[in-house]
Chain A
Amino acid sequence: MLHTNTTRGWGIVIGTTLILLLMSASLVYGYTNTTWIDAYLALFDPTTSNKHLIIRDVRLPRALIAAFVGACLGVSGAIMQSITRNPLSSPSILGINAGASFFVVVGVVFLSVQSLQSYMWLSFAGATFAFLLVFILSSTGREGLTPLKLTLAGSAITALFTSFTQGLLVLNETALDQVLFWLAGSVANRPLELLFHALPYIIVALLIVFFRAKELNVLSIGDDVAVGLGQRTAWIKFTFGTCAVVLAGSAVAVAGPIGFVGIIIPHLIRSLVGLDHRWILPYSALGGAALLLIADIGSRYVLMPQELPVGVMTALIGVPFFIFVARRKLGI
């Protein structure tokens, strides 16, 4: 759809503006009636009125977290699909979400962990552990690290951790009650400090992948050719894999496992900007952020005054749209 670099560049500008608009809308719309003027005043001339408190302490963290988590999921999904050379890959396929969930549930069941802060470190540790396990297992053996082995080892580890998690939850109903909402994924009621802890890692990882996106293009022509051209494919995979884990791990640490964003956003983006990762990655960041912001705003309205987990809402909004695109364009 966007064929020249000029239109793609303008697309980034328009997309960024859209994100800022969505973030502002996220400050304004919700159960408590507020206006755009309230939101402006709350940010630049705050009083201690109820409305201003809600906007600053409840909705602002939500908007920021939704935007960053969405961006992380979109970019890491695009990277995963590229390094496994499987368009069905997503952060969850390399065991990241499963590892994070497992560590959190272990923490709740055996260590009686309760604060969101400790959930965060546990899930980050779980995500990293799972990925390292997948990476080591798939590089062992005679063929070395092939995309197929990475994918298969990833789905095996995912299966393993998921089943452990389910086992613990089946045996322990109290823990189920406590973590059910976390396991559904949500950007609400998360303190801003969680995001600040993760932010430095997110920014470094994003910068690395944006500036080295060209190497992913080389990878997509196939390992043999890439090696022939003098590329160290294993090293490229490891670098990008690590960055993708940092991004997806931060996302799950801050917001819990949110599925589906990481798998559909890269597809939608590829049908928009083509196959060049220098464009796919930044656009995936914008697309992921937009989807999560819209889903988060929508989740406040479906069951008012109750709220839906945002992971549920991303599916409800994203699925019809995605099916429409998948039917129209097959050249993904």
Chain B
Amino acid sequence: MKIFNHLEFIRRPIYATILVFLVVITVMILSAGSGEFPLSPLNVVSALFGYGDGFNQTILIDFRLPRIVLALFVGMSLAVSGAILQGITKNPLASPDLIGVTAGASFAVVLFLTLFSDENNSLTVSIQWLPLFAFLGATITALVVFLLSWKNGIAPFRLLLIGIAVAAFMQAGTTIWILLGPIYQASQATIWTTGSIYGANWSQVSVLIPWAILLIAISLLLRRQMNILELGDDIATGVGSRVQRNRVLLLLVSTGLTGIAVAFAGGIGFVGLLAPHIARRIVGPKFQSMVLFSAGIGALLVLIADWIGRVAFAPIEVPAGVWTAAVGAPYFIFLLITQRKKGGA
């Protein structure tokens, strides 16, 4: 891209990463300021630091901020999860959605909605349990996929094929439940599977943040093992890497990240697929240099998608999952056709 040729420093991953997170912060402030009661960026910042009037603070801190912070961490988790998975499998189509994690969570949610509803379509248990159900669905499905693909270790390609198969199976199960249930539940389930962070609150955020930070930190610690794995099993074994142990460890981190993200945000798709590709095209394919950058891109995708979903058709909320691809795909296609190949893509 031409403008990057002029700004050569941006190719240094460290500067690029700093830049992308500055953009993330800007988008967060702008997004926090817009809505039914618009606030100027200055008001937003001063309210955040405890100045400004109480009304602004209530709107900002109780309503908008939990949502924005949730979007930030959901986006980062999904992107890192996708970066790990694409690296391990060496397949550009790999993403957390593909190997059944999201499908498992969707199935659990649809099950939850049908099992705990009475005739009037109101829930008989608190909606607070929904994230736990979704997380369990995601984790159990991931474990089933691992077990089924285990045969003297996990071969990445077998993992992908079996993951796709299990995903199809879970989707079939979801469709059956949806068709059997009333149309109201079908539309609830559709909203959930599309992915939305509507109604986020601080207690959700406080559960999500520690796990997201922990898992992302682990994946950063494992960056060398990740690079060695990308060279292929033979070389990795040859240089003394414990291939299977590292691979399983990284897979657990990746599915854990997807699990916590879908638990709170539903099946927000394409972030795990697109963000790592965008990152590779800009800062190159090395895992340690692209993983944080792609986390930033993922956060941007979800933040912008949620922002548009909140504001564009107000007062109707459009789930963020609708916009992630609408924002990310055109930019990705632009990169695809304008850029020369930078290493693997």
B-binding residues in A (CB < 8 A):
86-89, 93, 137-138, 140-143, 148-149, 151-153, 155-157, 159-160, 162-164, 166-167, 169-171, 173, 176-177, 180-181, 184, 259-260, 263-264, 267, 303, 308-309, 311-313, 315-316, 318-319, 322-323, 326-327, 330, 332
Contact = CB atoms under 8 A, between A and B. Distances in A.
Given A86-B93, A163-B326, A170 B194 contact: yes
A81 to B, nearest CB: 11
Contact of A156 (B161, B172, B191, B329): B329
B172 A315 contact: yes
Given A140-B337, A141-B337, A323 B165 contact: yes
B191 A86 contact: no
Q: Which of B270, B326, B329 has the most chain A CB atoms closer than 10 A to its own CB?
A: B329
Given A184-B175, A263-B164, 14 more contacts: A93-B93, A151-B93, A152-B332, A159-B274, A166-B319, A167-B318, A170-B187, A171-B313, A173-B183, A311-B175, A315-B172, A323-B162, A326-B149, A327-B149
Contact of B332 (A89, A156, A169, A322): A156
A327 B339 CA distance: 39
Interface residues of B, number: 59
Interface of B: 91-94, 98, 148-149, 151, 155, 157-158, 160-162, 164-166, 168-169, 171-172, 175-176, 178-180, 183, 186-187, 190-191, 194, 269-270, 273-274, 277, 313, 316, 318-319, 321-326, 328-330, 332-333, 336-341, 345
Nearest to B273: A155
A312 B345 contact: no
19 contacts: A86-B92, A88-B161, A93-B93, A143-B340, A148-B345, A153-B333, A156-B325, A157-B329, A166-B194, A167-B194, A170-B319, A176-B183, A176-B186, A177-B186, A184-B175, A319-B166, A319-B168, A326-B149, A327-B162
A interface majority secondary structure = helix
The interface centre, meaning the residue of B161, B330, B339 with most chain A CB atoms within 10 A of its CB, is B161
B324 A163 contact: yes
Nearest to A322: B165
Contacts of A316: 169, 172
Given A160-B325, A327-B158, A319 B176 contact: no
A138 B336 CA distance: 8
Given A88-B164, A149-B336, A156-B329, A330 B270 contact: no
A166 B175 contact: no
Contacts of A181: 179
Contacts of A167: 194, 318-319, 322-323, 326
A64 B328 CA distance: 41
Q: Which 10 A-B pairs have the closest CB atoms?
A: A315-B172, A167-B322, A163-B325, A159-B325, A141-B337, A160-B329, A312-B172, A315-B168, A319-B169, A156-B329
Given A88-B93, A155-B273, A141 B165 contact: no
A166 B190 contact: yes
A318 B172 CA distance: 11
A228 B165 CA distance: 38
A156 B323 CA distance: 13
A169 B333 contact: no
Contact of B190 (A89, A140, A143, A176): A176
Contacts of A137: 333, 336-337
Contacts of B337: 137-138, 140-141
B37 to A, nearest CB: 24
A148 B168 CA distance: 24
Given A159-B269, A315-B172, A169 B336 contact: no
A260 B94 CA distance: 16
Contacts of A89: 93
Contact of B336 (A88, A153, A267, A308): A153
B91 A86 contact: yes
Contact of A152 (B191, B277, B318): B277
B246 to A, nearest CB: 20
A309 B175 CA distance: 9
A156 B322 contact: no
Nearest to A163: B325
A16 to B, nearest CB: 27
A167 B91 CA distance: 29
A215 to B, nearest CB: 24
Nearest to B98: A88
* Most chain A Cβ neighbours within 10 Å, of B277, B325, B340: B325
A162 B336 contact: no
Contacts of B325: 156, 159-160, 162-163
Contact of A319 (B165, B175, B187): B165
B91 A88 contact: yes
A8 to B, nearest CB: 24
A152 to B, nearest CB: 6
A265 to B, nearest CB: 13
Nearest to A317: B172
A262 B75 CA distance: 31
A110 to B, nearest CB: 16
A31 to B, nearest CB: 17
